Amino acid sequence: MHVRPRQGSGRGWWGKVPDLTWDGWKTLISIAVAVIPAVMKFRVELSRAIDVVAEGVGLFVLVLGVVLYTHSFPQWERLQANLGAISQESPMLAAQQVQTLYTLYTGSIALMILGGMLAFSGLLGRMRAHVTPAKRR
């Protein structure tokens, strides 16, 4: 006995059709309809706020990188000078110290680069906002 699918069951040669009866679609559409015009209306203010936040976060990360660098660099130099004596006593401890300080040292440099780029990006965004665009004909 062969049972044929009902009409409108969503089955056919292409497979099952996705069920679009989820009530969340209505919520998503209504949020999009409410949010998109507000974003478009306040896009200049939002871009200024984003630039200020990027500059502030960039300066914070830059200072954090400098502090970490000033803390790890002297220890890195001291460890390199005493590495022979430490590795004879405990090679595993020496390897762990080298790995930890190397990670802190390179991480501090990466934080300084990231912070500088973020701060520079925010500064450029704020400077670009002050330049008035030329009128188009």
**pTM of this prediction exceeds 0.75:** no
* Domain range annotation of the chain: 24-130
Structure tokens at 101: 């300080």
Of 121, 135, 137, 132, give the one whose Cα is nearest residue 56. Answer: 121
From the number of C-beta atoms within 10 Å of its C-beta (0-12, 13-18, 19+), residue 123 rates as middle
- Cα of first residue to Cα of last residue in the chain, in angstroms, is 74
Taking only the tens of pLDDT, the chain with its 137 residues reads: 555 555 555 555 556 665 556 667 777 788 888 888 888 888 888 888 889 999 999 999 999 999 999 998 888 888 888 888 888 888 888 889 889 888 999 999 999 999 999 999 999 988 887 775 655 55
